[in-house]
Structure 1
């Protein structure tokens, strides 16, 4: 077997081994074979990285840099990424099994996020306050928080890292990133571009390894002032508990059980393709996956038939091949998870319409067929729990009110799709459905201008858009006495 590529960690501008010198394997989901070795971080490594980030935060080389200068660094980083899209896309695909064409498209768009925050960097401002005391002048400013701990998942490593990295740096913070142990390579391949862009040592640090000890040590470290986490609700609970140790501000971008609601006046072809995109794009391994389809009874059979027909023609195979439409799942555990939910769906009375197993024609790799269930009980597990894979549940409805109730019948509230040509209905349902993102007659659209986030089990706080800057800054108010008179009675509050 060929020698595996080896990745060390990045701390204070240097490539370093873990304190134990240990490494772990990362596997190619399409072949199940290990393809690289990644440094196995420890709590000691986390402490080194956080202290390096704190020193960089206090260092005038970064702290005295103007916001315009920081913006130029971000723009330079965006340019460097644009020049290496193909190479970075290959690393993403090798590590998590997503389609090379999907990763290529995602990474071609990624520089736009850095450009957006580059432009926003010197537009972070406060305001003067119309204070009701004539001899006092007051104004606010927005300042960086300090060291940011970023915990990122395996499904879209560079994109989901960028949602944290770009606004954090634009606001003047420093950052320690813990990528998923499943997909660390692409972020480590990005680091040389961060160096080349001109960010000072210690501003960006990467500690690789597992949730225990690396994630726990990072989110509870006393010098961490801000935690940005993307992942599942159970891991988020640990993050919240850990933040009690350092009182760090926390934002959580968690999972979803997103509905696609198709009304009787919708374009059936477009709605069917939207459902396909929502659940089988990225093999369903997306926080915003449209895993529940609610179809009006008058077009139920027609839309379901179209969805099943298109699902049956999906090309499953090598994610590096141009014709492939669904690649492997990211881990062997994901395949077992899909098998578990298929069994649960059957046991709880759902009817398997299509798929439900590993593709028979593919002997190696962590693949699973696009799978479709239909049922009427919204409380069964496959209709309530985030599966994070290519499993769709289809449920009929009769009225707009019923559709809204069904859409809101889970603990999640991240995204939703609405398919209708009725403008007023689109607005009514968009307002009523519990979701932080609502798409009307489209699905899975993103932009650096638009915020991302949800409610309840889907987390809190926002990433992307102008709102994200507020998540990475804190407000300070300054009072100035403009009176020439002596100080009044010191025992009375002014």
Structure 2
């Protein structure tokens, strides 16, 4: 059996792989994909996308506006009928081809995403494979997308079916952008919808790759259109466009509120997966070694730039001191480094503005009266990019800003609690409600807490492990609607009721 390559060799191999990709990217630039063609913006305007590793310009990107969105929405509308009417077996075949293409290009996608977003290779190496799995899962559901219910009554045969809603807009974020884009785009295409995709302006590189792979897989022109640009320009135009029937959005809660307002005149259906300030609750009877692993992973992996991160540690008081002591040692040992280095656990943050935001919470913690036990400052990493030290805050209480506001970085706040009632109260005293994590070996307690937590997703004795058929989404300020399995089809499709009379029921006679 061959031994795995040393990490130093993998690091060099990653740099060797990404170099020609970056050279081509800089030479070609990034255009929109509209109606199967790569095109510049109608205005001719562009913007630069830079690497968070060293600030180097990666590419010149077409800057879309309302004209480009109109062209893309028109293409999606024209392609809709034929895509909707295509047999599910053929749609399934095409979406499996997309998955094949993603797998064939997984390594290129991984290293480019590292350079474009700052995410560590150890996580991005798997993200592209997960994206392919998203396409395969929904490809296999094409045949059942229209399935409904048979609900017969005495005199009628009642059935329901689903039909695709029409062209939809998908607006995706900059954290693990390739994989998250497929979470939205794959079910929309499987449902029979056409798509206009507006990726985050801070991470446009792999969105352009996805558009190209979808075309090369044989998906008809106009079915997936990608328009790059800024939220206040291209994004706003997409949410307001009358041809777009629904908007699927992943991002900040404030942006979700703005999209609801923008889409209201055209009565757009919306699906929002928004922010989170998620609790991980550790009781004294838990498997503390496993709980510690999960606590560290769910806030410090992916640079802490994940909506489902467990950014509040609620720890029972009688075990808090020893648990935090072990936690402190683990946080101090985290490796900050170049994202292409497989040894790296935390890479640079996505953008200088986001770095400034995360760093601002160091002063907030001190002003609140909390203690920064680990970290609390920027980090001088390779390339001089947007690095920050993984940070652990102790001595906090639930009403502090560091316990209420989403930092979206490698920043964990510790909150002691006394008992089950206290833990639930602290966990729910927040505007968000995306996820919750509970660690206890008392099954009754686990079920009680899971039922009481105001969150859309709960993991008991586990970190976040995504299972595609299950509903993914939050409540309160964390979102509207659910992704996953048939839950995705409920958003991208309209339910239609058809009633067939047996011919025996009495019809009232009027005008006799």
When normalised by structure 1's length, the TM-score is 0.95
| Equivalent position SS for 2:485 | coil
In 2, Cα distance between equivalents of 1:13 and 1:318: 36
**Structure 1: gaps (5+ residues):** none
**Structure 2: gaps (5+ residues):** 1-21
In 2, Cα distance between equivalents of 1:480 and 1:64: 24
1:37 aligns with 2:57: no
- Report the CA distance between 1:71 and its aligned residue: 1.5
Kept in 2, the 8 Å contact 1:219–1:243? The answer is: yes
| Equivalent position SS for 2:195 | strand
Q: Which residue of 1 aligns with 2:247?
A: 227
In 2, Cα distance between equivalents of 1:491 and 1:104: 73
1:199 aligns with 2:219: yes
Kept in 2, the 8 Å contact 1:4–1:35? The answer is: no
In 1, Cα distance between equivalents of 2:510 and 2:136: 50
In 1, Cα distance between equivalents of 2:436 and 2:48: 37
- Report the CA distance between 1:481 and its aligned residue: 4.0
Pairwise mapping of residues 152-163 of structure 1 onto structure 2 (< 5 A)? 152-163=172-183
When normalised by structure 2's length, the TM-score is 0.92
From 72, 85, 91, give the equivalent of 2:93: 72
| Equivalent position SS for 1:286 | coil
From 462, 465, 480, give the equivalent of 2:482: 462
Pairwise mapping of residues 50-199 of structure 1 onto structure 2 (< 5 A)? 50-58=73-81, 60=82, 62-124=83-145, 125-132=147-154, 134=155, 136-199=156-219
User: RMSD of the alignment, in Å?
Assistant: 1.8
In 2, Cα distance between equivalents of 1:484 and 1:354: 77
Q: Which residue of 2 aligns with 1:331?
A: 351
| Equivalent position SS for 2:384 | coil
Kept in 2, the 8 Å contact 1:10–1:206? The answer is: yes
In 1, Cα distance between equivalents of 2:313 and 2:84: 49
Q: Which residue of 1 aligns with 2:5?
A: none
1:28 aligns with 2:48: no
- Report the CA distance between 1:446 and its aligned residue: 1.4
Kept in 2, the 8 Å contact 1:221–1:245? The answer is: no
Pairwise mapping of residues 367-378 of structure 1 onto structure 2 (< 5 A)? 367-378=387-398
Kept in 1, the 8 Å contact 2:121–2:340? The answer is: yes
In 2, Cα distance between equivalents of 1:368 and 1:460: 32
Moved more, 353-362 or 380-389: 353-362
Change in Cα spacing, 1:50 to 1:361, as seen in structure 2 (3 Å) is closer
In 1, Cα distance between equivalents of 2:507 and 2:289: 75
> Could you report, residue by residue, the CA deviation over 1:36-79 in whole angstroms, capped at 9, with x for unpaired residues?
11100010000000011000012x3x232112221121112112
Q: Which residue of 1 aligns with 2:465?
A: 445
From 26, 29, 32, give the equivalent of 1:6: 29
> Could you report, residue by residue, the CA deviation over 1:251-273 in whole angstroms, capped at 9, with x for unpaired residues?
10001000011110112222222
> Could you report, residue by residue, the CA deviation over 1:9-41 in whole angstroms, capped at 9, with x for unpaired residues?
000111111011121111111111111111000
| Equivalent position SS for 2:389 | coil
| Equivalent position SS for 1:190 | helix
Count of aligned residue pairs for this structure pair: 488
Kept in 1, the 8 Å contact 2:298–2:464? The answer is: yes
Q: Find runs of 4+ consecutive structure 1 residues off by over 6 angstroms.
A: 484-487
In 2, Cα distance between equivalents of 1:295 and 1:195: 50
* Greater fraction of residues in helix: 2
